[in-house]
Structure 1
Amino acid sequence: MQKASSWLLAGVLGTTTATAHAATLEERMAAFEARASAAEKRAAAAEQQTQALARELQQIKLATPTLQPAVSNATAIAAPTVDTRLAKLEARQQSMEKQGSTANLTDGFSFKGYARSGLLINDGLGGGRGGPYSTPAGSVGGAVGRLGNEDDTYMRIDLSKEIYAQNGTRSKFTVSIADGVESSNDWTADESSLNVRQVFSELDHVAAFKGNSVFENATLWAGKRFDRDNYDIHWLDSDVVFLAGTGGGIYDVQMSKSWRSNYSLIGRDYGDFSEGGLNADVESYILTSNQFFDNGQWQWMFNAIGAKKNDFSSRTNEAGLTPADSGLHSMLANHQKNFFGREGFFKTALLYGQGLGAEVKNIGSDGELIDDARALRLALYGETPIAPGWRIGPSLLAEQSKDRYVKGDNYRWMTLNLRLANAINSNFEMAYEMSWQNMNLDPKGYLQRNAVDGNFWKFTVAPTFKPDVGDLLTRPELRVFASFMNWSSDLDRYSTSDTFGMTDFRAGGVWQYGVQMETWF
């Protein structure tokens, strides 16, 4: 009996030992698989990790035969699973070795961009004129329809690289390069405005924030960039709001289940001024709070702007007045994921600014504004199908501002725009655009501009090829077009330096034709 008990105890101990070995092996395999998966994400260290992978595989291969004789039948059944895992890990290792240094370059890399390029010809077979800001109201942000009204080549490319740290934190570096010219030549180096528009880095999935409900999904950033939540009315080539500069901030602070917050501090430069031995490097600083409620349906943005040296004793604006050294800006926006209950979307924004904040679109970018400047702007736009094969994109942009650059000046304008598309087949549609703008501008002689009151009209027809029809925002588009524009003759005397009023571009009706491509990805 005692002998039988000893055999039983030995058997139990043997099985326990074998099971422990098996458990240890399973743990090692699980840990190893996790490390291999992380290695694939960490592209920058791919070669070192491949070598480490090879060493660990060899160790496991050496250890496995010594364990198998001691395991029980249950553990022996699990052996094929171990072999299968080893085979998969070996295949992964071979794949990584084949990728080699190429994986370091491509893993986590992304390439995005926007571009347009086209030819604009007037009815006299000369160079066409135009642009979304070609009217007198364009001097204060009054854009008109862009279809068949662009004569430039513009491109921007965004290059990004993502890297994961061992603790799971993701870093992302982005650089944006842009250029724009109006020449039709292939070599335009002398006219190029090539520029690095963004250089910034971000951190998200931050390991130190895990378990913190407020900051767990937050993104930290610093550098030169456009604010992530800028948005525009594409038909007008006008941002609803555009915040950009150099600084830092944090996105997606989760205040509650349906409330998230963004905060940033951004700097801009108004230039260097020197007079009478006094020097001023004039910079402005924008402190931003951007609040999103009801899962992003409502947005409230507030900006405080300061530029203490902008009222430097020797610094005046183009009207000879002391510019503002501070300002406030606010926007209340509603983002609907449908078009009044129909398929599509609709957005509304009301913007207000004073002082340096009276440039309500490009926040903090205008250092000429005076303390008394005030501006109120309304933006409405959306897109929806209206009949089989037809889609419509209406928009309205209107602003009233006063005391901007001179006491008593007054700028009032409103743009109504309608983009229509009729799908003919899977790759071809007829696009149409109608645009009307009313303006009453009284600049009080600022920049030798005269008071005007009148209207602008444009109608464009554009046969268009694209990869797939059914959405006004699908790109690329290859277009030919014909545009008719006309405007009140009073607008010709607004300024001797703007587009309107030039000897070959006066009121009375202008036809323009062209071909254009536009793409983004």
Structure 2
Amino acid sequence: MRSAVCRPWAGFSLLLLSTQLFAAPAPSIEERLARLEARTSSAEARASAAEADAARLRREVQQLNQQIGGRLPPPTEQALDQRIARIEAHQQALASAAPAADSSTRASEHLSDGFTFGGYARSGFMSNGSGAGHGGPYLTPAGSVGGAVGRLGNEVDTYMEAKLAKESQADNGTRSKYLLMLADGLETPNDWTAAQSQLNVRQAYAELSHLASFQDTPLLRNSTLWAGKRFDRDNFDLHWLDRGIVFLAGTGGGIYDLQPTQDWRINASLISRSYGDFGTEEKKDIRSYVATLNQFFDQGRWQVMLNGISSGQNDADLSSTKTTPLERKSRVNKSGFSPATGGAHGLFAYHRPDFFGREGYAKAVLLYGQGLGAEVNNIGADGDLLDQARTMRLAFYGHTRLNQDWRIAPALIAEHSQHRYVPGDDYRYMTFNVRLANELSSNFEMQYELSWQTMDLDARGYDGRQAAKGDYWKLTFAPTFKAQTGDFFVRPELRLFATYMNWSKDLDNFSATDDFGQKGFKSGGDWQLGVQMETWF
């Protein structure tokens, strides 16, 4: 009996002995000293940054003294002295606390410091009586030239963006940022969509801001340098239509926030885009280049944006070197006309931080473009435009609160363009959209959207498109759950919706490849039901 009872204890003793034998050895004195030196170096680096800040403040005091020809008024100098004292105290605290910090904890904090994750996503389905679903802000004939309609209860895709960013600060105070953005969009509702995926790197760029060597130059002090592939920082869109008012994107570099005066700031950039590979045996990558000067006045309330677009090879010889002179040909668009090799684009905008004295905001924008600039939204992106192409667009939109329980977001956009792809073609449309929200609890509201678009299009046969004239309208009811009601832009939102849309019969014949006129989706009225989520952060 005794030996049987002792067996478990003997096994336990053996386990303890083996654990001690195979346990990791205690750190040597050299390893402990190395860790202490690493912690001390980290504290010294932060202390150096604090010293640089203190020195910069002292330089500013000296410069101000020189400018006014004497010492600063006592209260101002005293306040700056107090700021410097706080920085020096913080420096001493960092130096004294560094040896006590745990190295593994410090390493973990360093890896996560400055890292952010953001994104946007929408996903849902819609179906009409025949079991099919047709939709999208650009489903009308005017959508072929950017004429979007209301998006609520009118989206059938899954689209997502994921943004990963890392920010850091050098010892001299200069800040850096790297951003990577992935995006994917597709319409299939399946759970496994690798074969249909369009996963894409939409942005990959780096920035430098608060540059230490710029701090003594007022023009450059608040500027940001960037290079890489990106969306312009100051793009803005009309959310209710999923329509960019201005969208500048590509690969290049630039500088933000040059400050000639207190009420005038400037952005400048040069980016490149590609119109694709053309030719026979020797493929030619046709590039465009967009030079931008974007100016803001009166604290950003007024904006003037100028863009010059150049693509010297857009009508280049695409023939093989083996072809004879008689067989050689230049690049043409889908109707056989030589595209433009340059263009200009301009924007004039008024941004109100309120809705004419009420809660919300309001924007009014006028855009004009010619040649390659006649695509006034996606600047420099359409390589099939003719030299004589002209486009003018006017947009107004915003949102405000009607009363304690109701919010409203009106939008109006109108555009006229001529000679886009064929000499003599003519595109005219106007869209009016209004979204309403009735807050019924802290998590539930009823949303409504009315969208109406009128158009007069004469495509002259470009890409198989015919003339079309008529109206489209849509009405959507959307019971919506959200984390908290009270604002149009709080997300996520989970929506059920019912949408009724109808349009003029003449619009069914605009194109054999668009939604209108397809079997089961003709004029006469169509109900579509669905569910959708939308989120951003």
Q: Give the TM-score band, short-chain normalised.
A: 0.7 to 0.9
The match for 2:478 is 462
CA distance in 2, matches of 1:270, 1:127: 34
Tell me which moved more, 427-436 or 96-105.
Answer: 96-105
The match for 1:283 is 287
The match for 1:17 is none
The match for 2:18 is none
The match for 2:192 is 187
CA distance in 2, matches of 1:518, 1:101: 36
The match for 2:220 is 215
| Cα distance change on mapping 1:341 and 1:486 into 2, 3 Å | same
The match for 1:233 is 238
| Cα distance change on mapping 1:228 and 1:183 into 2, 3 Å | same
Tell me which moved more, 464-473 or 298-307.
Answer: 464-473
Moved over 4 A (4+): 46-49, 53-56, 82-96
CA contact (8 A) 1:47 1:100 kept: no
CA distance in 2, matches of 1:345, 1:351: 20
| TM-score for the superposition, normalised by structure 1 | 0.83
The match for 1:492 is 508
Equivalent residue in structure 1 for 2:278, among 273, 284, 291: 273
The match for 1:260 is 265
The match for 1:338 is 354
Task: Say whether residues 1:153 and 2:158 are aligned partners.
Answer: yes
CA contact (8 A) 1:415 1:436 kept: yes
Instruction: Say which SS state the counterpart of residue 309 (structure 1) adopts.
Output: coil
Task: Say whether residues 1:317 and 2:333 are aligned partners.
Answer: yes
| Cα distance change on mapping 1:85 and 1:465 into 2, 3 Å | same
CA contact (8 A) 1:143 1:236 kept: yes
CA distance in 2, matches of 1:151, 1:189: 18
Deviation at 1:470, TM superposition (A): 1.0
CA distance in 2, matches of 1:248, 1:381: 31
CA distance in 1, matches of 2:458, 2:44: 78
The match for 1:97 is 103
1:301-349 deviations in Å (ceiling 9; x for gaps): 0000000000113200001000000000000000001111111100011
1:193-235 deviations in Å (ceiling 9; x for gaps): 0000000000000011012110000000000000000000100
CA distance in 2, matches of 1:136, 1:517: 27
Q: What is the identity percentage for the equivalent residue pairs of Structure 1 and Structure 2?
A: 57
CA distance in 2, matches of 1:83, 1:330: 52
1:272-324 deviations in Å (ceiling 9; x for gaps): 2114x665321000000000000100000000000000011320000100000
| Cα distance change on mapping 1:440 and 1:55 into 2, 3 Å | closer
The match for 1:380 is 396
Q: Within 5 Å, which residues of 2 pair with 1:283-302?
A: 283-302=287-306
Equivalent residue in structure 1 for 2:172, among 167, 184, 196: 167
Counterpart amino acid of residue 214 in structure 2: F
CA distance in 2, matches of 1:358, 1:86: 60
Q: Within 5 Å, which residues of 2 pair with 1:412-431?
A: 412-431=428-447
| Cα distance change on mapping 1:85 and 1:311 into 2, 3 Å | closer
CA distance in 2, matches of 1:361, 1:403: 17
CA distance in 1, matches of 2:36, 2:274: 44
Task: Say whether residues 1:517 and 2:533 are aligned partners.
Answer: yes
CA distance in 1, matches of 2:132, 2:100: 59
Deviation at 1:253, TM superposition (A): 0.0
Equivalent residue in structure 2 for 1:504, among 520, 529, 535: 520
Task: Say whether residues 1:107 and 2:123 are aligned partners.
Answer: no
The match for 1:50 is 39
1:457-515 deviations in Å (ceiling 9; x for gaps): 00001011111111111111011010000000100000000010101110011000111
Counterpart amino acid of residue 295 in structure 2: Q
Counterpart amino acid of residue 360 in structure 2: G
Equivalent residue in structure 2 for 1:130, among 135, 151, 163: 135
CA contact (8 A) 2:352 2:362 kept: yes
Task: Say whether residues 1:357 and 2:389 are aligned partners.
Answer: no
Instruction: Say which SS state the counterpart of residue 437 (structure 2) adopts.
Output: strand
Deviation at 1:100, TM superposition (A): 3.7
Instruction: Say which SS state the counterpart of residue 424 (structure 2) adopts.
Output: coil
CA contact (8 A) 2:252 2:271 kept: yes
Which segments of 5 or more consecutive residues in structure 2 lack a partner in the other structure?
1-34, 46-87, 318-329
Instruction: Say which SS state the counterpart of residue 308 (structure 1) adopts.
Output: coil
The match for 1:366 is 382
CA contact (8 A) 2:339 2:386 kept: yes
| Cα distance change on mapping 1:53 and 1:338 into 2, 3 Å | closer
CA distance in 2, matches of 1:112, 1:48: 36
Q: Within 5 Å, which residues of 2 pair with 1:138-149?
A: 138-149=143-154
Deviation at 1:122, TM superposition (A): 1.2
The match for 2:54 is none
CA contact (8 A) 2:388 2:420 kept: yes
The match for 1:442 is 458
CA distance in 1, matches of 2:159, 2:536: 12
Equivalent residue in structure 1 for 2:255, among 247, 250, 258: 250
CA contact (8 A) 1:47 1:101 kept: no
| Cα distance change on mapping 1:123 and 1:92 into 2, 3 Å | farther
CA distance in 1, matches of 2:169, 2:475: 51
CA distance in 1, matches of 2:178, 2:300: 26
| Cα distance change on mapping 1:379 and 1:96 into 2, 3 Å | farther
Counterpart amino acid of residue 299 in structure 1: Q
CA distance in 1, matches of 2:447, 2:239: 14
| Cα distance change on mapping 1:164 and 1:414 into 2, 3 Å | same
Instruction: Say which SS state the counterpart of residue 319 (structure 1) adopts.
Output: coil
CA distance in 2, matches of 1:202, 1:133: 34
CA distance in 1, matches of 2:437, 2:252: 41
Task: Say whether residues 1:206 and 2:211 are aligned partners.
Answer: yes
Instruction: Say which SS state the counterpart of residue 456 (structure 2) adopts.
Output: strand
| Cα distance change on mapping 1:47 and 1:419 into 2, 3 Å | farther
Instruction: Say which SS state the counterpart of residue 108 (structure 2) adopts.
Output: helix
Counterpart amino acid of residue 472 in structure 1: F
Counterpart amino acid of residue 373 in structure 1: A
